[in-house]
Amino acid sequence: QVQLVESGGGLVQPGGSLRLSCATSGFIFDFYAVGWFRQAPGKERMFLAGIRWSDGTTSYAFSVKGRFIISGDYARNVVNLELNNMNAEDTAVYYCAASNRTVIAISPSHWAYWGQGTQVTVSA
């Protein structure tokens, strides 16, 4: 019954910005953290950012810190990811995930629930 649905992906020019959204439903009280990952063809799934549901504490991968921003709209059970100053290396499928762990984990294996992903393409 737990569902995560991503939206907001698409084609963006280099230097442009996007805002991705993750709509959550089900046992939200069991979500200790909600996070964003991305995976390019032939590469491993990479942690981008996470937010603790209880207090809003955030965690970022060093490679995107200062460029990507994660935020939560708790009344609507939505988590957003702002992607700024984008470049071709940001082209990937972006996934929303939820974790039952108290610590935001980097490894995808520690996240229990996943959305279907949304494609982001950066091209001129």
Residue at 18: amino acid letter: L
The string of pLDDT tens digits covering residues 46-102 is: 999 999 988 899 999 998 989 999 999 988 989 999 999 999 999 999 999 999 887
7 vs 77, more confident: 7
Q: How many CB atoms lie within 10 A of CB 85?
A: 12
Residue type present at position 57: T
**Residue 27 pLDDT grade (very low, low, confident, very high; cuts 50, 70, 90):** low
- Cα separation, 85 vs 116, in Å, equals 25
Q: For 21, which DSSP code?
A: E
Per-residue pLDDT, 91 = 97
Mean pLDDT of 94-122: 93
In the predicted structure, residue 113 carries a pLDDT above the cut 90: yes
